[in-house]
Every structure is written in C-alpha cells, then in structure tokens.
Structure 1
Amino acid sequence: MAKSSPAPAETTPVADFERSLDELEQLVARMEGGEMSLDESLRAFERGIGVYRHCQQALDQAELRVRLLLDPDAPDTAEPFEPKV
C-alpha cells in the first residue's frame, strides 16, 4: 500500500512575504557577486523587480490591516483587502 504524501499546507501571507524577501536577498547577493553574464543579470533584475513589487504589495496590505484594527470606528473584524493593481 503506497503512502500518500500529505497535502501541501497553505502558505500564510507572512510566510509568503518572508519567502519572497529571502528570494530577493538571494538575487541581490548573486548579482553583487559579479559572476553573472549580462543576460543572467537582466533576468535576475527583472525577477527582482517582480518580487519587490510583490513584497511591497504585501506590506501595503499589512499596513492597511493594522490601520483598520487601530481605527476605533472600524468593525470588530477586519476583512481581507484586495489592493488595486
């Protein structure tokens, strides 16, 4: 009888942010190492910009949630916020 692998756990926004930030740091370190070709550097830069934007969006959502939680006129529960892109 074959064992089934456990279902992958859903990633939390915090875990997703931390993974993206780690990827961004690795990209920067590789680029600073100076051993990448120009083409590799451009691809890494493009990926880095995308990851940076994802991180910034996550931070914006977190800031909004904090503001909602601290607002005395806000309802007792915060609802998910979908930012405009």
Structure 2
Amino acid sequence: MNDTPIEKMSFEQALAELETVVSDLEGGNIPLEQSILLYERGAKLKAHCERKLAAAEEKVAQITRGPDGAATGLTPVDPD
C-alpha cells in the first residue's frame, strides 16, 4: 500500500494503486481486517479517480465552449 496521501496522487498513481488493491482483494489471501482496510482505501481511490476525471471533463468542456456557452471548434466525425 502506498503511503502517499490520496488527495496528492495523480490520476495515474491512484488508478495504479486501485488496480493493485483490486488484485490483492481478488487474490483472497489477505486476512479479513486487512481486507477491510484495503477495501476502504480502494473506495477512496475510486472516488479520487472519479473526481479527477470529472475535473478533466469540465476542462475539456470549457475549452470547447465559446463565450456564449455553445460548442465551438468541433468537427463532426466521419463514420466511414
């Protein structure tokens, strides 16, 4: 388990640790008390990743909106 406070982790760091937590829990070789602690940390890591993604989505939305709030500079994707 990483000692870095979750709120200071980048998205990539938090996601990597979350993947490790899930793998450890799925392995089933961890005592119950430690599993509970890992699950709690995993829930916090998941929430942190969700916040980071939401913030990134909002930044992208701000970049693609004009002063009137309408989408600008977007080009339709040609499906063919």
Q: What's the TM-score, normalizing by structure 1?
A: 0.67
C-alpha distance in 2 between matches for 1:17 and 1:51:
9
Corresponding position: 1:23 with 2:17: yes
C-alpha distance in 2 between matches for 1:45 and 1:33:
13
Instruction: Give the partner amino acid of 2:16.
Output: D
Instruction: Give the partner amino acid of 2:58.
Output: L
**Which residue of structure 2 aligns with residue 77 of structure 1?**
none
**Which residue of structure 1 aligns with residue 42 of structure 2?**
48
Q: What's the TM-score, normalizing by structure 2?
A: 0.71
Superposition misfits of 4+ residues, deviation over 4 angstroms: none
- Between the two proteins, the alignment pairs up a number of residues equal to 61
Instruction: Give the partner amino acid of 2:46.
Output: Y
Q: Structure 2: 5+ residue runs without aligned partners? A: 1-7, 69-80
Aligned residues: percent identity? Answer: 34
> What is the CA distance between 1:73 and its match in structure 2?
1.6
Q: Structure 1: 5+ residue runs without aligned partners? A: 1-12, 75-85
Corresponding position: 1:68 with 2:58: no
**Which residue of structure 2 aligns with residue 36 of structure 1?**
30
